[in-house]
Amino acid sequence: MNPEATLEEARDQIDSCADHAALKEVERHYLGRKGVVAAALAGIGALPPEQRKQAGQGANRVKQAIQELVDARAEVLDAAALESERSGAGFDPSLPPARLETGSLHPITQVTRELEDLFLSMGYAVLDGPEVELDHYNFEALNIPKDHPARDSHDTFFCDDDGGLVMRTHTSPVQVRAMEQLEPPFRVIAPGRCFRQETTDASHDHTFYQMEGMVVGRDISVGHLIGAMRTLLRGIFERDLDVRLRPGYFPFVEPGFELDARCPFCEDGCSVCKRTTWIELLPCGLVHPNVLSAGGIDPEKWSGFAFGLGLSRLAMLRYGIDDVRHLFGGDLRFLEQF
Amino acid sequence: MLVSYRWLERHVDLDGIEPHRLADDLTLSTAEVEGIERFAPWLSDVIVGEVLERDAHPDADKLSLCRVDVGQDEPLQIVCGAPNVAAGQKVAVATVGTVLPGDFKIKKSRIRGVDSRGMICSLRELELGDEHDGIWVLPEPCPTGEAVAEALGLEDWVIEIDNKSLTHRPDLWGHRGIAREIAAIHGRTLRPLDTSPPETGDGEPFPVTVESPTCSRYLGLVIEGARVEASPDWLRWLLLAVGQRPIDVLVDLSNFVMLDLGQPNHAFDASRLPAGIRVRNARAGETITTLDGEERKLEESDLLIGSGEEAVALAGIMGGEASKVEDDTSRLLLEVATFDAATVRRTSTRLGLRTDSSARFEKSLDPTLPPAAAGHFARLLRELQPEVSFPARLSDVGDWSDPACELTLRPDRVRRALGAELPDETIENILTRLDFEVARAGSDLRVGVPSARATKDVTLEQDLIEEVGRIHRYGNIPEQAMLAAVEPPRPDPRRELVRRIQNRLSGPARFHEVLSYSFVGDRTLDLLGWSDEPHVRVRNPMARDEARVRRAVLPSLLGDLEANRRERSDLRLFEIGKGYRPEAANERGEPRELHQLALLWATARERVGESFDDARFARLRGVVADLLQSLGVQELAWSSPAAVPAWAHPAEILEVRGSAGDTPLAVVASLEPGLGRAIGLRDELASDVAVAEVSIDALLASDREVRRYRPIPRFPGVKLDVAVDLPESVRAGELVAVIEKAGKGQVADTELFDVYRGANVETGRKSLAYHVLLQSESKTLSDKDQARFLSRLEKGLEDLDARLRK
């Protein structure tokens, strides 16, 4: 082996390697177990003794030099690969992102959870009540006896059963059920489904969600009610909204109110507030003594307030849903958006 | 209810309380105002004109050519078609540019070759009446050039009050009641109103007998010499403002008294009451033709006004056709009565006949009101027709008592309930302004409730607290924080479970949550063969074929399937809801309520691959298994159910228990194929559909534990693949049992990765391939251990007529 010629030849080959695979091949050709250098070293024994040392040194020098060239070339290739990777050639920033397939929770569920969490954090318990309800709970115990004109506005679905069953028209029956189950003082909310036999349109459906709230304690006052409702609105709209209470008639509260909040969507009137800057948000009031009595609670000792919040309406406000019927439509193109 | 601002002014001085302010006052203290509008706003644009000359139109017989002074520099030339137009008249002129009702804009025009610069209006064109046989001739003193509204004092505002917010306030169903509120809010006094009974001659009272306790008071006033003629303008304008059509002075006064005092009343032609008045319940099957011309079938609970055996009016709702006042009526009987609220309400609801009268009676009217209303009517009529007479003493029959009562009010209770520091004097003052009589009794107040408020509305101390609160204004009550013990609310296991289910399904499982109506359609029930199953049934459904309340949630998911499949080739839906079982009602009659989760996974048939585990059934079963495990069900025991639900494939169905012997937690199945086709999943919508029903009730009752940590194996395991050739009749489960047995406790996991039929496997046989993981807790397994396992396996397989494939 001529060390100089071998080295020159190897240098050419190494420099022309375009990738690690080719380099590995060249490295093997010269430095492998059966490579050129190994063959030269194996041939030393056949040389005259005086040449052996020189030939051995030459071969080892070549070996070392080639190894250095290989390592250097590998570094160059690495650097080039890194450079190339960084160049971003072929990257099209206008390509769409990959679509992530996900599931979804119904908007009513999301709004309900948010409110449940808010009230749970304030020590309210969450109760459930049946959707097919006894007339007793839906009306009688709520101070709405048979033939009371207030029954008109309830547009009740009557179940053909002698026991006096109705599809509950509001979540208020849970007030009475709560009083039967719990010892005062207590604070509860009861979200759920309600039914009204009324013509459906973009803002009315015969099935909708409400959330009842009730607090029973000592000397619960209108002032407490106002405070609790303002806290509730802060939780929902994440800012302070002016509220106003005005008289509203609901037989199960006395005094009864409608609570209006300053429209969170405008300052000088919009379609949501019907250009009044107030939105009618929730009916509420102090629990009527007859209702406390119907629930087995002494109205001389205890008092309380109750309120009802329209969850369907709130979900519509929250997400800008323009047709309430989407909520029960089961259309995936709607559901997927949440 | 519509309220006229000018009408209110008859009862209270409104100086300084402009209409919008008044509407706000009512909203904040009394009842919900739904809207406020100017009455006939066009009357501010229509002006008083004087007809200077009237000439015949040169080219048309029926038209006249008028020169009308409207207070401008030059008189206007107007072509008019009315026969009654004449020089010297004051008339209502709509000049060019004025917009009349119906968006009718007056323009310059040429009529038969003659220019016309405006229109002389009839009452009908101004929506002030039905008369259209001529123009409206204004009274002489109207100043030419002034707006008609101003000249005639017709400017008014109409305030609409939400009837629902007046449900408990019979006293607010007349203008005087509303005026009393305004007076109380502003501390003004009501203008005096003579409420004494009418002065009558001393003839024998008209014979009246009351046979039913549902009429507590019946007044009859005989009126002679009344003329049936048009009402004076002031009366017409007020009625028009509140949406009533003026008819004649008797009808109009009757309405006026009702709308003024809230007391309905009715005038009969006395000559059609030969046998006097008899207030009684209807006989079964009896009929009456009401004033609207409809024949009404009555029931025994309906209250009637009769004369002898004849029915002449439906009490408190509508008069009868046969006894109505005609133009030639010379003797009238005015009825002013108090009828039972529930009776009137029941009858009017049943007949679908809601009238201004029934709306008031059903609120429980004050029985002391009829004499005042009768007197009011009589005085108004005599003012208009001084020659009328009331020859007979007032009939006044009935068993009634004055509802006025006395309540004790504890001022401290007011302060505590409202959360406002109101001095006793303020409380007294507010109540006095509202016509309550207040006297001190020690630290308490004795409050006399006037009869008008005592029929239903104010009967408890709490009701008085409301009176104080609303006039004080709730907006003046300071916000207060509630003080209560700091303790976590009691846990609610079902809600927590539902949340975990929702999270697992909407998250890792990528399902979409649906909410469906609780009503289930007859068609769906027919398809399921559930039509005869007991259902809670609604008597008045939205649609006749959607009267039943669902027994189970799952069928609801099928409803949206076809429409959704048109839009999407892969659907994963779940719903959490309630089903009702009337056959399992409790002793109170409440149907048993089931809490259920339903799942559905549907994929276009052509998208389901050949791979052994790509069927939706297998996929959904995986979702259910994962869900149950994530909820802490430790062991899942799958088995074939004894009964197959109608929605399930007869063979491809499994139920799962937390441990053998428990109530099943869930059922997973392919959708019954015929049902799938019937709901439209065929041809291009052909789908592979799996469904599952999970009982949330059973899950709640089951033993669930937090999943415990399992130590990570200390010694490496050996993974090997095992392919077994076995007869079709042998089930995978049997094979796995053999594999586990051959492992002698060392088989840590088996995972099926291929099912194969075809070349190299005989017909009637199949190949199942498993990844098997052998693991020991005490040592690293060697090749020898693996060989021993395989030889035991080969031996075990012989019993199944199976063999290892090489």
Based on the fold, state whether residues A205 and A278 are members of the same structural domain: yes
Residue range B568-592: average pLDDT?
A: 93
Determine, for residues B489 and A105 on separate chains, whether the beta-carbon distance falls below 8 Å. Answer: no
Determine, for residues B505 and A103 on separate chains, whether the beta-carbon distance falls below 8 Å. Answer: yes
Residue A154: pLDDT band with limits 50, 70, 90:
confident
| Cβ under 8 Å to A: B residues 80-119 | none
pLDDT per residue over B233-258, tens digit each? 899 999 999 999 999 999 999 999 99
Look at residue B369 and tell me whether its pLDDT is greater than 70.
yes
| Cβ under 8 Å to A: B residues 415-454 | 416-420
Interface test with B, best of A99, A121, A132 (most B CBs within 10 A): A132
Look at residue A41 and tell me whether its pLDDT is greater than 80.
yes
Residue range A200-218: average pLDDT?
A: 93
Look at residue A280 and tell me whether its pLDDT is greater than 70.
yes
The domains found in chain B, sorted by start residue, are: 2-39+157-186 (3.30.56.10), 41-151 (2.40.50.140), 208-397 (3.50.40.10), 405-475 (3.30.56.10), 493-701 (3.30.930.10), 718-804 (3.30.70.380)
Based on the fold, state whether residues A112 and A74 are members of the same structural domain: no
Tokens encoding B723: 């392919």
Look at residue A183 and tell me whether its pLDDT is greater than 90.
yes
Residue range B297-325: average pLDDT?
A: 93
Q: Based on the number of CB atoms within 10 Å of its own CB, is B167 exposed (0-12), middle (13-18) or buried (19 or more)? A: buried
In a domain, A102, yes or no: no
Of A128, A223, A246, the CB nearest to B420: A223
> In this structure, how many other beta carbons lie within 10 angstroms of the beta carbon of residue B486?
6
Determine, for residues B518 and A195 on separate chains, whether the beta-carbon distance falls below 8 Å. Answer: yes
Q: Which residue of A has its CA nearest to B460?
A: A289
Give backbone dihedrals phi and psi of B686, rounded to 5 degrees, phi first. -50, 130
> In this structure, how many other beta carbons lie within 10 angstroms of the beta carbon of residue B102?
8
In a domain, A40, yes or no: yes
Q: Which residue of A has its CA nearest to B548?
A: A159
Determine, for residues B484 and A217 on separate chains, whether the beta-carbon distance falls below 8 Å. Answer: yes
Determine, for residues B480 and A245 on separate chains, whether the beta-carbon distance falls below 8 Å. Answer: no
- How high is the mean pLDDT of chain A? 90
Based on the fold, state whether residues A325 and A215 are members of the same structural domain: yes
Determine, for residues A255 and B420 on separate chains, whether the beta-carbon distance falls below 8 Å. Answer: no
Residue range A230-243: average pLDDT?
A: 85
Residue range B738-765: average pLDDT?
A: 91
Tokens encoding B26: 């009512």
Of B502, B582, B593, the CB nearest to A130: B593
- Decide: B302 and B347 in contact? Cβ < 8 Å: yes
SS3 B546: coil
Based on the fold, state whether residues A113 and A48 are members of the same structural domain: no
Look at residue A149 and tell me whether its pLDDT is greater than 90.
no
CB pairs under 8 A between A and B: 239
Q: Based on the number of CB atoms within 10 Å of its own CB, is B164 exposed (0-12), middle (13-18) or buried (19 or more)? A: middle
Residue A268: pLDDT band with limits 50, 70, 90:
confident
In a domain, A328, yes or no: yes
Would an 8 Å CB–CB cutoff place B634 in contact with chain A?
A: no
Determine, for residues A159 and B462 on separate chains, whether the beta-carbon distance falls below 8 Å. Answer: no
pLDDT per residue over A77-104, tens digit each? 999 989 988 988 888 989 999 888 899 9
Based on the fold, state whether residues A82 and A111 are members of the same structural domain: no
Minimal CA separation from A245 to chain B, in Å: 6
Residue B560: the pLDDT is 80
Based on the fold, state whether residues A8 and A156 are members of the same structural domain: no
Please report residues of A whose CB lies closer than 8 A to that of B511: 103
SS (H, E, C) chain A: CCHHHHHHHHHHHHHCCCCHHHHHHHHHHHHCCCCHHHHHHHHHHHCCHHHHHHHHHHHHHHHHHHHHHHHHHHHHHHHHHHHHHHHCCCCCCCCCCCCCCCCECCHHHHHHHHHHHHHHCCCCEECCCCCEEEHHHHCHHHCCCCCCHHHHHHCCCEECCCCCEEECCCCCHHHHHHHHHCCCCEEEEEEEEEECCCCCECCECCEEEEEEEEEEECCCCHHHHHHHHHHHHHHHHCCCCCEEEEECCCCCEEEEEEEEEECCCCCCCCCCCCCCCEEEEEEEEEECHHHHHHCCCCCCCCEEEEEEEEHHHHHHHHHCCCCHHHHHCCCHHHHCCC
Q: Which residue of A has its CA nearest to B583?
A: A161
Determine, for residues A247 and B499 on separate chains, whether the beta-carbon distance falls below 8 Å. Answer: no
Look at residue A23 and tell me whether its pLDDT is greater than 80.
yes
Last residue of a domain, one of A87, A119, A154: A87
The CATH number of whichever domain residue A296 belongs to comes to 3.30.930.10
Residue range A195-209: average pLDDT?
A: 91
pLDDT per residue over B711-727, tens digit each? 888 898 889 999 999 99
Please report residues of A whose CB lies closer than 8 A to that of B341: 147, 149
DSSP B392: B
Enumerate residues 6+ apart whose C-beta is below 8 A from A201: none
Last residue of a domain, one of A54, A87, A120: A87
In a domain, A132, yes or no: yes
- How high is the mean pLDDT of chain B? 92
Determine, for residues A227 and B492 on separate chains, whether the beta-carbon distance falls below 8 Å. Answer: no
A245 vs A257: CA distance, rounded Å: 6
Look at residue B806 and tell me whether its pLDDT is greater than 90.
no
Least confident of B308-322, B568-582, B608-622: B608-622
Interface predicted TM-score (ipTM): 0.85
What residues does B754 pair with on adjacent strands? B769
Based on the fold, state whether residues A239 and A192 are members of the same structural domain: yes
Residue A163: the pLDDT is 62
Q: Which residue of B has its CA nearest to A256?
A: B466
Tokens encoding B129: 């009446």
Residues of chain B with pLDDT > 90, as a percent, come to 76
Residue B660: pLDDT band with limits 50, 70, 90:
low
- Decide: A230 and A246 in contact? Cβ < 8 Å: no
Enumerate residues 6+ apart whose C-beta is below 8 A from B287: B295, B296, B297, B298, B311
Determine, for residues A130 and B168 on separate chains, whether the beta-carbon distance falls below 8 Å. Answer: no
The sign of the torsion formed by the CA atoms of A71, A72, A77, A79 equals positive
Look at residue B328 and tell me whether its pLDDT is greater than 90.
no
Beta strands in B370-474, from DSSP E residues, in sequence order? 395-397, 405-409, 437-441, 444-449
Number of domains within chain A: 2
Of residues B692 and A230, more confidently modeled: B692
Based on the fold, state whether residues A78 and A120 are members of the same structural domain: no
Residue range A268-285: average pLDDT?
A: 85
SS3 B571: strand
Determine, for residues B420 and A222 on separate chains, whether the beta-carbon distance falls below 8 Å. Answer: yes
Residue B217: the pLDDT is 97
Based on the fold, state whether residues A111 and A247 are members of the same structural domain: yes
Least confident of B47-61, B499-513, B761-775: B47-61
SS3 B340: coil
pTM for the predicted model, two decimal places: 0.84
Residue A306: the pLDDT is 97
B46 vs B99: CA distance, rounded Å: 9
Of A167, A227, A330, the CB nearest to B481: A227
pLDDT per residue over B6-57, tens digit each? 999 999 999 999 999 999 999 999 999 999 999 999 999 999 999 999 988 8
Residue A162: the pLDDT is 67
Q: Which residue of B has its CA nearest to A124?
A: B489
Would an 8 Å CB–CB cutoff place B504 in contact with chain A?
A: no
Minimal CA separation from B440 to chain A, in Å: 22
Enumerate residues 6+ apart whose C-beta is below 8 A from B531: B522, B525
Please report residues of A whose CB lies closer than 8 A to that of B619: none
B2 vs B20: CA distance, rounded Å: 15
Helix or strand (DSSP H, E) at B357: helix B356-361
Would an 8 Å CB–CB cutoff place B512 in contact with chain A?
A: yes
Based on the fold, state whether residues A237 and A329 are members of the same structural domain: yes
Domain of residue A66: give its range: 3-87
Residue A207: pLDDT band with limits 50, 70, 90:
very high
In a domain, A35, yes or no: yes
Give backbone dihedrals phi and psi of B192, rounded to 5 degrees, phi first. -65, 145
Helix B424-433 vs helix B461-472: angle between axes, to the nearest 10 degrees?
90
What residues does A258 pair with on adjacent strands? A246, A283
Determine, for residues A159 and B487 on separate chains, whether the beta-carbon distance falls below 8 Å. Answer: no
Determine, for residues B540 and A157 on separate chains, whether the beta-carbon distance falls below 8 Å. Answer: yes
In a domain, A98, yes or no: no
Residue B774: the pLDDT is 93
Determine, for residues B165 and A249 on separate chains, whether the beta-carbon distance falls below 8 Å. Answer: yes
Look at residue B439 and tell me whether its pLDDT is greater than 70.
yes
pLDDT per residue over B379-436, tens digit each? 999 999 999 999 999 999 999 999 999 999 999 999 999 999 999 999 999 999 999 9
In a domain, A295, yes or no: yes
Determine, for residues B460 and A289 on separate chains, whether the beta-carbon distance falls below 8 Å. Answer: yes
Would an 8 Å CB–CB cutoff place B516 in contact with chain A?
A: yes
Based on the fold, state whether residues A26 and A112 are members of the same structural domain: no
Residue B286: the pLDDT is 94
Residue B90: the pLDDT is 93
Based on the fold, state whether residues A25 and A60 are members of the same structural domain: yes
In a domain, A309, yes or no: yes
Strand B157-161 with B33-38, pairing? antiparallel
